[in-house]
Amino acid sequence: MIQISIATNQQSSVSVFPLLDGSKLTSSGESIKSDSVVANFLAAGEHQGKYGAMRSVYLNDGRAMFVGTGETSKLNLHKLRTLAAKVGAKLNKNNVEQADIYLTELEITNASLADKVQAIAEGLWLGLYTFDTYQTQEKEAKTELASINIIVDGNVSEAKQALMAAQAIASGTIFARDLGNHPGNICTPEYLGDQAEALLHPKLKTTVLDKAAIEKAGFTALLAVNQGSDIEPRFIVMEYNGANNDDAPIALVGKGLTFDAGGISIKPAGQMDEMKFDMCGSAAVLGIFKAVTEMNLPINLLGVIPSTENLLGGSAYKPGDIITSYKGITIEILNTDAEGRVILSDALAYAAEQKPAEIIDFATLTGACVIALGGQATGLMGTSDDIKQGLITSGQKTHDRVWEMPMFEEYQEQIKSKIADIKNTGGREAGTITAACFLSRFVDDIPWAHLDIAGTAWNMKGTDISPVGGATGASVRLIVDYLRNKIEINPTVS
């Protein structure tokens, strides 16, 4: 349990103090500096505030743990978030039952108390994340980390509100991580549908279409990709009405490939197991909805998730096939492993039909994006400068970062087909961009942004906070911040 406390209420056995660069202390640390053990530790200059270094010393009335913060001029909210994650993991590993944390005393440029509390709490929850569902060995008995007090000297009410937001965002991120980390034989399209239906809220309505309903609705591109699998597809629609009924929703569309072998254009065997993560776009949408409903945000959202496997079989769609999408656009299939954009075509066209205010889609779409940006940032493309700038701003704040790539009109030439309307790959050059060009054909004139999370959805470098690796929950922090900013800018949605 993580809670807000004031310094005079501290009662825990371990107190965590920031140690600044050069072995300097903040006010709380200064209050125990006269203790001979602390004085000796500081005099030794063991790590002198090196970022992330931790050392405990035993006092007469408990234990003090000093955590290095590095150069104070380089501190930002994400470094604070990451530091808190390291602290939480260390406390848990050392069998600490209760702890007081004084990290809010750190000075961070342009950061309020609420900002710091939210970052610390997010870090603590995400740093304590585990995924051991399938481990059967009995675990070693240990003391549970029962409570952490984030010590504040200021507006307690404001801090508690920030804590509640952090809990919801961490909950959504962890939900997305769990979905991504489950293996493909567990996390099937049906399972995703069940998880969507399990998100209960008075303002949330969820509809899950099975194969028969998908056929009736005419989501033919999704059905084409599903042909090689014995597992039925699902088409998931979520409607959250937290604002006025007349307010057009923001549509969030997530790619739900629960396992992708590449189809007839089969992937190399090495690391194919990681293709269980190809549904992390859908996990992001579900994680965002979980966070938004727990926060009860006053905004309208539409969630759309097309879900299937992409496997080989006698009925599998083939290179050279021409399929007709839900929108009526014909698609020449040149590579069956470029399937994500194919199923998203139906989902985006459906979302556009609902006349949302804007559309944002999430997809582990192209290996080319990993080559271009690695695991440090999500690829961003789209038709709306306002959406893109909003995402860039939120990415900088949450460190769930995005980087814009161009979508010049000339790139559209690469997906023109000689025998159909478009083809599902534009070749090796500008692969991430031409994939976005493909998607752009299905959103009509609705303001739209595309997030290619192929490099950030799992084993992300530089932005992830997870002691176990695997799925990261990429885009949950990003979009929740983006939505909260929309509410502040457009108060009519409340």
In 70-112, where does DSSP find H-type helix? 77-93
Q: Please give the Cα distance from 257 to 242 (Å, whole number).
A: 29
Nearest to 83 by CA among 102, 109, 62: 102
Report the alpha-carbon angle 260-262-267, nearest 5: 105
Nearest to 220 by CA among 351, 352, 346, 348: 346
SS3 206: strand
Please tell me which residue in 55, 160, 203, 267 is annotated as part of the active site.
Answer: 267
Q: Please give the Cα distance from 109 to 77 (Å, whole number).
A: 9
Q: Please give the Cα distance from 358 to 325 (Å, whole number).
A: 21
Report the alpha-carbon angle 193-239-395, nearest 5: 90
Please tell me which residue in 81, 255, 341, 401 is annotated as part of the active site.
Answer: 341
CA 234 to chain centre: 22
> 110: phi > 0 → left, psi -120 to 50 → alpha, else beta; which?
left
Strands 14-20 and 2-6: unpaired
What tokens appear for 90 in the block?
A: 């260390």
267 among known catalytic residues: yes
Report the alpha-carbon angle 476-283-274, nearest 5: 115
Residue with tokens 């307010």: 247
Q: Which residues are catalytic?
A: 267, 341
